[in-house]
Structure 1
Amino acid sequence: MLAAWPAASEPSAPKPDAPVARFASGESISESDLEAWIKNDLYDEAMRNRNDAERHGLRAEAARRLMMERLLEREEKRRGLDTAALLDELGRRAPKVEESEVKAAYEANRDRFGGRSWEEMAPGIRAELERERRNETVRAELDAMLANAGYRLLLEPPRAKLSRDGASLGAEDAPVTLVQFTDYECPYCRRAEPVVARLRERYGERLRLVVRHLPLEIHRHARPAALAAACARRQGRFFEYHAALFENPRALALPDLEARAVALGLDMNAFRGCLSAKETAKEIDADLEEAERLGVTGTPAFFVNGILLAGQQPFESFTAVIDAELARKQASR
């Protein structure tokens, strides 16, 4: 039986007057404020059939939007502008779309244009790029306004209970454990690897990394690759083999898997025997079963001290959660 992480206490129902977000000035919104703001049919539909992590994400975004409304109301009074004018002003800060960017977008999507020329498509492409850039700029400016106001989300995220099994780097008693469910044929998993490396570099001994396998059925070579990685782990070379698999995810046939093992100097008789061993298959199946129990159906998926971050995430999404966890651990001492 796999040992479980220490069970987190079940969260009690939030009190109506409990604060869910606040500014540094002390201004805050309560649980009842949030519920009153989001209670409508569209929200009810969005929340239906969602797991705890997804519901938390929707509530967190709703809290952010409500606090942003409060902040914009304050700015309206201070500057004598309505919200539409404020947003238009922020959008005008967007960097100019260069001709080279329009041409690059045209070339990247030429096959979708049905033979239409550059002259025909350029105005529409430019308009779309300008719209995207404006939206990105407005979002970034609003985020900066929230940060300057000392915005802080107080909603406690749900925490999953995970087994301790898996290849790991870092001390068992590290204050933060990052569990990664991965698939060696998944392009998003490959793109996540440099982010994970940056996290390990930034947090050092404060972060423990655990890798679990979630080979998806749509990827023909993902399970054999996971088996091979498990066999490399038996010989103490998991993370070297793990990195080698992601270097060329198109080369995952059996000869490719064996070639990597040879390059790492693994005992090939032991490696080949391990690939077909029932114990190795059971190890992968245990990871699949845990992923199913946790409601994880896609890769990559990450858990930071049990808090789910699903899909490919930017570095900043991880650091926000990890920094909050480190602060929570420090405060509890």
Structure 2
Amino acid sequence: MLMRSTSTILAALLAASLFSGCNKEKSPATAATATTTSAEPSADTVVATYGDGQKVTFGELNERVKEPLANLEKQKYQLRKQGLEGFVVEKLVAAEAKKRGVSEEELMKAEIDGKIPQPPEEEIKKLYDEAKERLPPGTTFEQVKPQIVDFLNGSKRQERARAYFEELKKANNVQITLPEPPKPPVERKEVAATGPARGPEGAPITIVEFSDFQCPYCSRAIKTVDEVLAAYPNQVRLVFRQFPLDFHKQAPKAAEASLCANDQGKFWEYHDVLFANQQALEVPQLKEHAKKVGLDSAKFDKCLDSGEKASIVTADLEAGKKVGVNGTPAFFINGVLLSGAQPIEEFKSIIDAELKAKK
């Protein structure tokens, strides 16, 4: 079994949190790494001229791009905070290993790999059988078994590593005191809450999610959204709207299929199956998924083949673009945008502020 170092696991967890949404433009994390800046000009500094003595000032420019600038400051803060937490965890792991009289690698193996349930032999063998035609001739099951186990345990290892690092931080009373950047004024968008929904009608908080069934970050966000709904069972209602990105070729039809499933009252069951099978979204596979969740195949196939839901998908897409969505997932919490697969703390920050304002 491959045992990764503390820094390698931390790097994987950090990368997973930095790249938080599907967007064909340059990653926000890449932009956020540019931290060295020169002193800014004053607001009345002229930065462009045109026509007969017309001017554009630095203040006018800042006003025009205030939203992306605020997002950039937030991304820089998140990058620093995640780097700081990783730095602290490395020191905690080193101290814990020294206290136990073992190496860091031995500690990590005991606390992470040693506490992950191993996949059943039949699951390992099934994956080998599916892949053996693409393996070099003569490759045996025993030769590749460790790599298959490592692959199957990948997400479990990250979850256990995250949990162990949290245990270490709690045991050592870690307090992160990195100053946050000033929060810009709340900007609220008018977003229609139309679509499949979960949570009580009339809830004080409505979250409208724009999502793409082929986007891995949307899949990653499901767990956090479920945690939000569990934390606020009577205060939050979630509405799902479609936003298939143009470079995800199977996403539009998958969106239509989910709405066909919604006609039979099983949107969320089908939603979960699609996100769990993002490599299997061709039309025949969409129909197979429908059978798995117990849909009437004849009705579902007729709905999907007719394209009758395409207009709803297009309407959702246009509605999202109108309020500034350019990547997925995108959440509007009572109209306040939260972009990307963000941690639950980001959701709670907005939700708690909204609930407080309603008192």
TM-score for the superposition, normalised by structure 2: 0.55
Give the drift of 1:311: 1.3
Partner residue of 1:283 out of 312, 316, 319: 312
- Residues 199 and 229 of structure 2 are in contact (CA less than 8 Å); yes or no, is this contact kept in structure 1? no
Aligned residue for 2:231?
Answer: 202
Unaligned runs of 5+ residues in structure 2 are 1-38, 48-57, 78-83, 95-102, 110-168
Distance 1:92 1:260, change over 3 A: closer
Q: Give the 3-state SS of the residue equivalent to 2:177 in structure 1.
A: helix
Structure 1 vs Structure 2 CA RMSD: 4.0
Report the Cα distance in structure 1 between the residues aligned to 2:191 and 2:324, rounded to whole angstroms: 12
Aligned residue for 1:164?
Answer: 193
- Residues 241 and 261 of structure 1 are in contact (CA less than 8 Å); yes or no, is this contact kept in structure 2? yes
Partner residue of 2:177 out of 144, 148, 170: 144
Partner residue of 2:296 out of 267, 277, 282: 267
Q: Give the 3-state SS of the residue equivalent to 2:245 in structure 1.
A: coil
Give the drift of 1:269: 1.8
Report the Cα distance in structure 1 between the residues aligned to 2:300 and 2:230, rounded to whole angstroms: 31
Unaligned runs of 5+ residues in structure 1 are 1-35, 65-86, 105-136
Distance 1:249 1:46, change over 3 A: farther
Report the Cα distance in structure 2 between the residues aligned to 1:45 and 1:262, rounded to whole angstroms: 57
Partner residue of 1:221 out of 250, 257, 265: 250
Correspondence list, 1:1-333, <5 A: 47=62, 50=65, 52=67, 54=68, 56-57=70-71, 94-95=91-92, 100=105, 143-144=176-177, 155-330=184-359
Letter in 1 for 2:294: G
- Residues 177 and 210 of structure 1 are in contact (CA less than 8 Å); yes or no, is this contact kept in structure 2? yes
Give the drift of 1:144: 3.0
Distance 1:61 1:288, change over 3 A: closer
Give the drift of 1:247: 1.1
Give the drift of 1:245: 0.6
- Residues 256 and 307 of structure 2 are in contact (CA less than 8 Å); yes or no, is this contact kept in structure 1? no
Distance 1:246 1:93, change over 3 A: closer
Letter in 2 for 1:321: I
Give the drift of 1:91: 7.4
The C-alpha deviation readout for 1:35-85, integer Å capped at 9, x for no partner, is x99957898699476474x355467799x9xxxxxxxxxxxxxxxxxxxxx
- Residues 229 and 242 of structure 1 are in contact (CA less than 8 Å); yes or no, is this contact kept in structure 2? yes
Aligned residue for 1:23?
Answer: none
- Residues 333 and 351 of structure 2 are in contact (CA less than 8 Å); yes or no, is this contact kept in structure 1? yes
Aligned residue for 1:117?
Answer: none
Distance 1:222 1:60, change over 3 A: closer
Letter in 2 for 1:144: T
Q: Give the 3-state SS of the residue equivalent to 1:181 in structure 2.
A: strand
Report the Cα distance in structure 2 between the residues aligned to 1:167 and 1:209, rounded to whole angstroms: 8
Aligned residue for 1:118?
Answer: none
Count of paired positions: 232
Q: Give the 3-state SS of the residue equivalent to 1:178 in structure 2.
A: strand
Letter in 2 for 1:288: L
Report the Cα distance in structure 2 between the residues aligned to 1:93 and 1:252, rounded to whole angstroms: 40
Distance 1:278 1:254, change over 3 A: closer
Distance 1:91 1:228, change over 3 A: closer
Give the drift of 1:250: 0.7
Report the Cα distance in structure 1 between the residues aligned to 2:230 and 2:224, rounded to whole angstroms: 10
Distance 1:37 1:60, change over 3 A: farther
Letter in 1 for 2:202: D
Report the Cα distance in structure 1 between the residues aligned to 2:311 and 2:250, rounded to whole angstroms: 17
Report the Cα distance in structure 2 between the residues aligned to 1:152 and 1:37, rounded to whole angstroms: 17
- Residues 51 and 295 of structure 1 are in contact (CA less than 8 Å); yes or no, is this contact kept in structure 2? no
Give the drift of 1:164: 2.4
Letter in 1 for 2:92: P
Give the drift of 1:263: 1.5
TM-score for the superposition, normalised by structure 1: 0.59
Letter in 2 for 1:188: Y
Aligned residue for 2:154?
Answer: none
Q: Give the 3-state SS of the residue equivalent to 1:309 in structure 2.
A: strand
Letter in 1 for 2:192: S
